[in-house]
Amino acid sequence: MGLERIEYKKPAQLQRMHAAGLVLAEALDRTVAAAEPGKTTKDLDAVFAAVLAQHGATSNFLGYYDFPATICTSVNEEVVHGIPGDRVLQDGDVLKIDGGAVVDGWHADSARTVILGTADPEDQRLSDVTEEAMWAGIAALATARHIGEVGDAIDDYVSAQDGAPLGILEDYVGHGIGSAMHMAPDVLNYRSGHKGARIKPGMALAIEPMLVRGEIETRTLEDDWTVVTEDASRASQWENTVLVHTRGIWVSTVPDGGAARLARYGVTVSPLA
């Protein structure tokens, strides 16, 4: 993907991406609120789909290479791309909900980790560190000259944490987004020694670290979608879509544009004109 052309959006196109992000944020809010022990992952898919329909938005997951649902639901050792179905959620499950929305042909992509019921403290730490690593990467983007600085910031944050080391997956990374869900450039979540593409206004990036409590090796199940850790260690995923424009950055998949979470990094977000 690194050799593909990067799509630079015009201001009006970024506005449409913002609209898609707000719909997605609401859909994820409603889906997270519905996630509880005893529900099936298919139940959650129905909640998410209903919110999109209410707003006249469509899912960018449904039908993507024949994916059969509107969200990915990955539980415990499942890292990403889990297919909603009849699995009944249990107390203590670590659930990753990854979803997308399309408004007027423009995309948004976001993911959250939810721990159901009583959380194992180490699972909660895993999710908390993954979430904050995402925000550290977004904060770095605000002043970065090159894409590689995002991965540097994520890696530095994770490596600086006390406690048992957490692994950063390298096989699955963030990406450009816009008129399609997955576009150039790749956004690595780790130090690679490569600068990557230069940051320019009009870029839109999905920043999504995935961390595990064990080793970073993964495999794909027979459904050709669900990715699991080889050692069965639990995983977390957090993701937001970030818009780069002439006055700064705006997180399209958070109602306040990321203002509250980025303030601790000294970053002031800039609403789209």
Backbone angles phi, psi at 176, to 5 degrees: -70, 160
Complete DSSP assignment for 205-244: EEE--EEESS---EEE-TTSS-EEETT---EEE-BEEEEE
Residue 131 clears pLDDT 80, i.e. is over it:
yes
pLDDT tens digits, residue range 238-248? Answer: 999 999 999 99
Residue ranges for the known binding site for a divalent metal cation are: 98, 109, 175, 208, 239
pLDDT tens digits, residue range 142-167? Answer: 999 999 999 999 999 999 999 999 99
| 3-class secondary structure, 112 | strand
| 3-class secondary structure, 104 | coil
**pLDDT given for residue 62 in this prediction:** 98
What's the rounded Cα separation, in Å, for the pair 38 and 36?
6
Q: How large is the average pLDDT for residues 175-191?
A: 98
Average pLDDT of the chain is 97
Confidence of residue 273 (pLDDT cuts 50, 70, 90): confident
Residue 184 clears pLDDT 90, i.e. is over it:
yes
The reported pTM is 0.97
Residue ranges for the known binding site are: 81, 98, 109, 175, 182, 208, 239
Q: How large is the average pLDDT for residues 100-126?
A: 98
Residue 1 clears pLDDT 70, i.e. is over it:
no
What's the rounded Cα separation, in Å, for the pair 208 and 191?
15
Measured CA distances, 42 to 81, 91, 127 (Å): 14, 17, 23
**pLDDT given for residue 3 in this prediction:** 54
Residues 235 and 212: beta-carbon distance below 8 Å? yes
Residue ranges for the known binding site for substrate are: 81, 182
Note the CATH architecture for domain 11-265: Alpha-Beta Complex (3.90)
How many Cα atoms occupy the beta-carbon half-sphere of 86 within 13 Å?
Answer: 0
**pLDDT given for residue 4 in this prediction:** 79
Q: How large is the average pLDDT for residues 225-229?
A: 98
Q: How large is the average pLDDT for residues 92-113?
A: 98
Domain-by-domain residue ranges, the chain? Answer: 11-265
